[in-house]
Amino acid sequence: MAQKISPYRYREGLKDGLPIGLGYLSVSFGFGISAVGEGLRVLEALIISMTNLTSAGQLAGVTVIVAMGTLLEIVLTQFVINLRYSLMGITLTQRLDSRCNTKHRLFMSFGLTDEIFAVAASKPAPVGPSYFYGLMTLPYVGWAGGTLLGALAGSVLPDRFRLALGIMIYAMFIAIILPPMKRDKGVLGVVLLAAALSCCVAFLPFLKWISAGFAIILCAVIAAAVLALVCPIAEDDEEEEPS
Amino acid sequence: MRPAILLYIAVMALTTYLVRMIPFTVFRKKIKSRFAKSFFYYIPYAVLSAMTFPAIFYSTGSILSATVGVAVAMLLAFFHQSLIVVSVAASLAALFVSFL
């Protein structure tokens, strides 16, 4: 762990977290609506969002809770759907500065979501606790707030507006992956391959049994492994950012 | 608040937290292997891509409005616009199409 101190402050994290927070607001709004629709109370839906902070896992969790499944079922679904966070966590440890001790990691890991991970891992320099906490703040507020609003207000917002909000979070992903695709053939390859695999899982009937959370990790691991073999990154120590 | 539901939620939250926390906290080595380094370099892009496609086309309830949103997002992202500009513009484009 000889990474130098991160140049990014709390404020920069806050700024980078704003679009994630707005995106979460709309996604969790939908979660709030559906959780209450399935029979949970407003407060229960809110507590789920405040303690879990994960979209696919929460949706699956609500399904098991409402069906009064076993606790083992809850553990297994959450484990499989959220396994990708383990992978992301390991990836992110390679991009942390030296201030990220165990105490900080215990708190930081709570905010390890797909989007927060992607933004933090694609920063050119290593990230530290202050930046990461800044990055977590608005997504957390947006996720909890959106759930509460969705659970309370349900169908007050006209469908047209609610639906248009649904694309925000994905558009943000495009904004993250497209610029590096222009300058790095490996990134271009991995994005195209992962998208192709993901479409196969979604559309080919004999692959339909794969759950959404598991499909993401499966497609991503295959695509990244293939590109790591075919197109390994340049071998020099600190700088892994070919620019 | 129903106690049984609360228990489910607690188990759910604990599982999710442990899956996130253990590797992130325990893993301290600097990865040396070139393959592993490349793999971890590519993983964030692979995850984002797999999450985005094909889901983005179903994100607005209409493939047409979503496709217009995707086009707008790609165009703006190609010219390095910020995350918030790209996502708001895509959403507005999808909203606009829904009025046509």
All residues of chain B having their beta carbon less than 8 Å from the beta carbon of residue A169 are 59, 87
Residue ranges of alpha helices (H) inside chain A are: 10-37, 42-52, 55-66, 71-93, 102-108, 114-121, 129-153, 159-165, 168-183, 185-203, 212-230
Residue A155 backbone dihedrals phi, psi, to 5 degrees: -100, 20
Q: Are residues A118 and A51 both part of a single domain? A: yes
Domain boundary among A146, A175, A204: A175
Q: What is the pLDDT of residue A240?
A: 46
> Mean pLDDT throughout A90-115?
93
> Mean pLDDT throughout A48-76?
86
Find out whether A182 and A46 touch, Cβ atoms under 8 Å.
no
pLDDT at A60 over 80: no
> Mean pLDDT throughout A124-140?
95
Q: Which domain holds residue B50?
A: 3-99
Q: What percent of chain A has pLDDT over 90?
A: 46
> How many whole angstroms separate alpha carbon B80 and alpha carbon B85?
10
Residue ranges of alpha helices (H) inside B27-62 are: 34-52
Tally A–B CB contacts below 8 A.
310
Domain boundary among A150, A175, A200: A175
> How many whole angstroms separate alpha carbon A126 and alpha carbon A193?
27
Of A20, A121, A167, the CB nearest to B90: A167
Q: Are residues A14 and A120 both part of a single domain? A: yes
Q: What is the pLDDT of residue B17?
A: 96
CA-based nearest distance A182→chain B, Å: 8
What value, to the nearest 5°, has the Cα angle with vertex B91 and ends A119 and B81? 50
Q: Are residues A117 and A222 both part of a single domain? A: no
> How many whole angstroms separate alpha carbon A109 and alpha carbon A93?
10
All residues of chain B having their beta carbon less than 8 Å from the beta carbon of residue A86 are 19-20, 22-24
Domain for residue A5, yes or no?
no
Residue type, B71: A
Q: Are residues A199 and A162 both part of a single domain? A: no
> Mean pLDDT throughout A74-92?
85
What value, to the nearest 5°, has the Cα angle with vertex B53 and ends A116 and A23? 40
The answer to whether the CB atoms of A78 and B19 lie below 8 A apart is yes
The answer to whether the CB atoms of A94 and B87 lie below 8 A apart is no
What is the ipTM, given to two decimal places? Answer: 0.85
Give how many domains chain B has, as a whole number: 1
Look up residue A184 and give its two tokens. 């790095």
The answer to whether the CB atoms of A102 and B25 lie below 8 A apart is yes
Q: Are residues A87 and A132 both part of a single domain? A: yes
Q: Are residues A155 and A220 both part of a single domain? A: no
pLDDT at A237 over 70: no
Select from A228, A27, A173 the least CA-distant residue to B54.
Answer: A173
Q: Are residues A167 and A188 both part of a single domain? A: no
Each residue of A159-215: pLDDT tens digit?
787 778 778 778 888 988 999 999 999 999 999 999 999 999 999 988 877 766 667
Domain for residue A4, yes or no?
no
pLDDT at A122 over 80: yes
Domain for residue A1, yes or no?
no
Q: What is the pLDDT of residue A106?
A: 95
The answer to whether the CB atoms of A165 and B2 lie below 8 A apart is no
Helices (H) and strands (E) in chain B, counts: 4, 0
Find out whether A175 and A23 touch, Cβ atoms under 8 Å.
no
Q: Give the chain A residue nearest B64 (alpha carbons).
A: A164
Mutate to test the interface with A, among B1, B40, B96, B98 (most CBs of A within 10 A): B40
> How many whole angstroms separate alpha carbon A80 and alpha carbon B13?
14
Whole-Å CA distances, A224 to A89, A146, B30: 16, 33, 19
Residue A3 binned pLDDT confidence (cut-offs 50, 70, 90): low
Q: Are residues A199 and A98 both part of a single domain? A: no
Q: Are residues A138 and A239 both part of a single domain? A: no
SS3 A241: coil
pLDDT at A52 over 90: yes
Q: What is the pLDDT of residue B70?
A: 97
Select from B22, B21, B96, B20 the least CA-distant residue to B60.
Answer: B96
pLDDT at A109 over 60: yes
Chunked into runs of 10 residues, chain B (100 residues) has average pLDDT values of 90 96 88 86 85 88 95 96 86 92
SS3 B95: helix
Q: Which domain holds residue A148?
A: 10-175
> How many whole angstroms separate alpha carbon B1 and alpha carbon A236?
56
Q: Give the chain A residue nearest B73 (alpha carbons).
A: A171
The alpha carbon of residue B72 and the mean position of all alpha carbons in its chain are separated, in whole angstroms, by 18
Q: What is the mean pLDDT of chain A?
A: 86
Residue type, A16: D
Give how many domains chain A has, as a whole number: 2
